[in-house]
Amino acid sequence: MARSSSRSSDWGFPRWRGYGTDRGAATVRMCDRHGCDQPGDRPAPKSPNSPERWYFCMDHAAEYNRNWNYFEGLNAEEAAEREAKERGEASGYAESQHYAWGGPGDGTRSRDEMRALEVLELDPDADFDEIKAAWRRHAKANHPDVKPNDAKAAARFQSIQAAFEILRKAEERRTAA
C-alpha cells in the first residue's frame, strides 16, 4: 500500500520540478483604450483626487499623460489656491535639493555655489550684497584692461566671472521660489 506524501517535491536543492509548472494561467488586465490588445499595466487616474484608475499600455499612458490637465474644471482662482496649497505641502522637499549627498555647508547651497564662494574668498553664509562687493573688488583687480599681458590675471578674471554667474543664478532661483 502506497503512502501519500504531504511533502512538496520542490524542497531543498536541487529543485525536482520546473519553475511554475503547477501554476495556472495568470490573468492579464488589458489596456482600457478601446481597440487596444496590449496589457494595461500602467495606472492613470480617471479624475483629479479620485481613487478610480484607468489601466493603459505604455503608448496609451503616454498619450493620456500628454493630454492630462490637472486643473481641469477649476476656475483660475481655485487653480491658484490648489497650486499654492500643494506648493506649501511640498516646500519641505525643495530645500533638500541642495544637500547633494552631504556636501559642504549647511545644506542651503550646492557644491558649485560653495566652490564659487571659495573663488571669491567669501564665507559660506555670505549674502548676495557681500557677493556682489567681492566680485567687483576681484574683477577690478584682475581685469585684462588693468593687467594687460598677464595670463594668470586673465584666468583669475574668468574664474571670478564664472563664480559670480553661478551665485547670481542661484540667487535668482531663490528669490523666484
Predicted TM-score (pTM) of the model is 0.43
Residue pair 53/45 in contact (Cβ under 8 Å)? The answer is yes
Residue 60 has pLDDT above 80, yes or no: yes
pLDDT in tens, 110-126: 888 989 999 999 988 88
pLDDT in tens, 3-41: 666 655 555 555 555 665 555 667 788 998 889 999 999
List of domains in the chain? 101-176 (1.10.287.110)
